[in-house]
Amino acid sequence: MAGRRVECTWKRHVAEQLKQRDRVQRQAFEEIIHQYNRLLEKSDLQAVLSERLQTEKYELQDRHDVSPGAESLQQEMAQIRIRHQEELTELHKKRGELAQSVIELNNQIQQKDKEIQSNEAKMLEYQQQIAQLEGECRDLRSSLADLERANQTLRDEYDALQITFSALEEKLRKTTEDNQELVTRWMAEKAQEANRLNAENEKDCRRRQAKLQKELADAAKEPLPIEPKRVSQTPPAGLLDSISNIFGYVDSLLSSLSLSLSLAPLPSLSLCVYSTVCQDAHDGEVNAVRFSPGSRLLATGGMDRRVKLWEVVAGHCEPKGALTGSNAGITSIEFDSAGSYLLAASNDFASRIWTMDDYRLRHTLTGHSGKVLSARFLLDNARIVSGSYDRTLKLWDLRSKVCMKTVFAGSSCNDIVCTEQCVMSGHFDKKVRFWDIRSESIVCELELLGRVTSLDLNHDRTELLTCSRDDLVKIIDLRNNAVRQTFSAQGFKCGSDFTRVTFSPDGSYVAAGSADGVLYVWNVLTGKLDKTLDKGHSSAINSVSWSPSGTYVVSVEKGSRAVLWSDM
């Protein structure tokens, strides 16, 4: 149906074009044809006049023979004949010009015909293209309608999911509130149960003490036979036995009381001592750990976005509080030299500083475009250096709370340590870079055999400890920037790109955690493995910290545990 309509359309268009050409060309050549016809008429008329003049010529010649006055008439006729001949010549000339014009016009007509044929072919091609495009347009309209229907379906599904999400979110909120209420009630019931148990123990103790006092009073009231001549003799065995039995009863009472108190529920600890089974320190993976300068306070940071503080007392850890404010997991922890501030880097592209006296968030340093993997105080405690996954290092001024300098390192920065005028950074491209803070330039580069995961300085800041993914722990002498010592052990394997190792406070030992949950300790003087501690962890160790007093070592793992080791 559509093809027949297209065929009628182009036929009608060709007929209209032919009519238009006829009108245009007829108007252009109508005057010429009219003049040509007049010339033909004049030419015929001239031929008739010529014949007539010839006839008259012969008649005049005959008359001349008859009449002598015919000479003047002959001259007149000759002039007329000459004039007519000139007119005839002019007419022939015009006729030739008109014939040439006709030929040229015929050529133009043929050329126009060819152009018309070419245009008709193009028109046919264009009409075919139009038909094809109309078909494609219909297909696109159909596809658009399908997409609109699919889009509407997706919108309806999105609205339904949004409603479901809102309902689930509300349910989660209510569940969280109910859980919090249940925890509060459970804690209250536990406290009441502990108070009740303590009250019962106290009541039992008072009852037994009253019974003891009564028995003592009864024993004191009993009359004892005393012989006059033997006053200085020892008391009879019955009294001694009674007194010893009484005190034995008291001892048993005290032992049972102490036993009952020891069986009373104690608050759960999140850290353990040496080989004791550990409980979770965080709700998820624990990434960082650090002792305070005084060794009594311990800080751990995990993927639950919190920094938890613990007080180390007689080989045990008691929770002191939690530092909140981070929007993502904690990656590193650092105390200032006085222990007044705590600096933590996190995966939300920021570093944060809390005060330790009130556990309040004081500064949030933002500016990196990737995860901040390490942040350190400089020795003046007024500036901070941070290294990020965005391959930059930033120097921050705590007085103005702004970024003073940004240095492009060329590779992701996994860890940082600082001296007075030098910053050392370990990178994903297996290099340790030494930066001059004043000139913002690289002083030296040292390439290791694996990706650098950790850096640490000894107490004198003359040796740099490194750990890399080639499962080697190395000591670099900062006086000549060369590797001085390499530690390895059978079974030791670096568990991640962020595994942290540490020096002992006197620099005599090196501690590193392995992917199999074993803590390895090497002797720096001998270069040999000193001991392995394999009781406490069930997954890869992420970080290790040695207390400044040298008494404790703490290690944290991917499985949310933290282990406090003593008697090292």
Q: What is the pLDDT of residues 344-380, one digit of tens each?
A: 999 999 999 999 988 899 989 998 999 999 999 998 8
User: Where is 519: in which H helix or E strand?
Assistant: strand 519-523
- CA 169 to each of CA 127, 165, 181, 328: distance values in angstroms, whole numbers, following the listed order: 60, 6, 18, 20
What is the per-residue pLDDT across 476-518, written as a single tens digit (0 to 9) for each? 999 888 999 999 999 999 988 889 999 999 999 999 999 999 9
Residues shown for the chain: 568
Tens digits of residue pLDDT in 306-333 = 999 998 887 788 888 899 888 999 999 9
What phi, psi does 27 have (nearest 5°)?
-65, -35
Q: Reply yes or no on whether the pLDDT at 396 is more than 50.
A: yes
**Considering Cα of 339, then 342, then 343, then 344, what sign does the dihedral take?**
positive
Residue of 420, 412, 456 whose CA lies nearest to 437:
420
Average model confidence (pLDDT) across the chain: 82
**More confidently predicted of 121 and 204:** 121
Q: What is the pLDDT of residue 466?
A: 95
* Average of per-residue pLDDT across 185-205: 75
Radius of gyration (C-alpha) of the chain in whole angstroms: 57
How far out from the chain centre does Cα 38 lie?
Answer: 95
**Does the pLDDT at position 251 exceed 60?**
no
Q: pLDDT band at 69, cuts 50/70/90?
A: low
Task: Kindly tell me if the per-residue pLDDT of 524 is higher than 80.
Answer: yes
Count CA atoms within 13 Å of residue 190 on its CB side.
11
Residue 349: partners with Cβ closer than 8 Å, 6 or more residues away: 366, 368, 369, 370, 371, 372, 388
Check whether 205 has a pLDDT greater than 60: yes
CA distance 206 to 210: 6
Reported as a pLDDT band with limits 50, 70 and 90, residue 222 is low
**pLDDT confidence band for 19 (50 / 70 / 90):** confident
Tell me, letter by letter, the H, E, C secondary structure of 305-369: CCEEEEEEECCEEEEEEEECCCCCCEEEEEECCCCCEEEEEECCCEEEEEECCCCEEEEEEECCC
- pLDDT tops 50 at residue 58: yes
Token look-up 């650098």 returns 452
Task: Indicate the pTM of the whole model.
Answer: 0.52
**pLDDT value of residue 198:** 72
**In degrees rounded to 5, what are phi and psi of residue 441?**
-120, 160
The two tokens of residue 486 are 């390499």
Task: Please indicate whether residue 128 or residue 73 has the higher confidence score (pLDDT).
Answer: 128
In DSSP terms, which residues pair with 273 in a beta bridge?
Answer: 564
pLDDT of amino acid 209 = 82
Ramachandran angles phi, psi of 436, nearest 5°: -90, 120
**With pLDDT > 90 as the criterion, what percentage of the chain qualifies?**
36
Gap between the Cα atoms of 453 and 223, Å rounded: 85
Question: Which among 193, 195, 204 is positioned nearest to 256, based on CA atoms?
Answer: 204
CA–centroid distance for 246 within its chain = 76
Spatial strand order of the sheet with 413-418 comes to: 413-418, 422-427, 431-436, 441-447
pLDDT digit string (tens) for 270-319?
333 343 435 577 888 899 999 999 878 999 999 989 999 998 887 788 88
Amino acid at 346: S
What was the pLDDT predicted at 96?
A: 83
Structure confidence by residue, pLDDT tens digits, 407-433:
998 899 999 999 878 899 999 999 999
Confidence of residue 64 (pLDDT cuts 50, 70, 90): low
pLDDT at 258 over 50: no
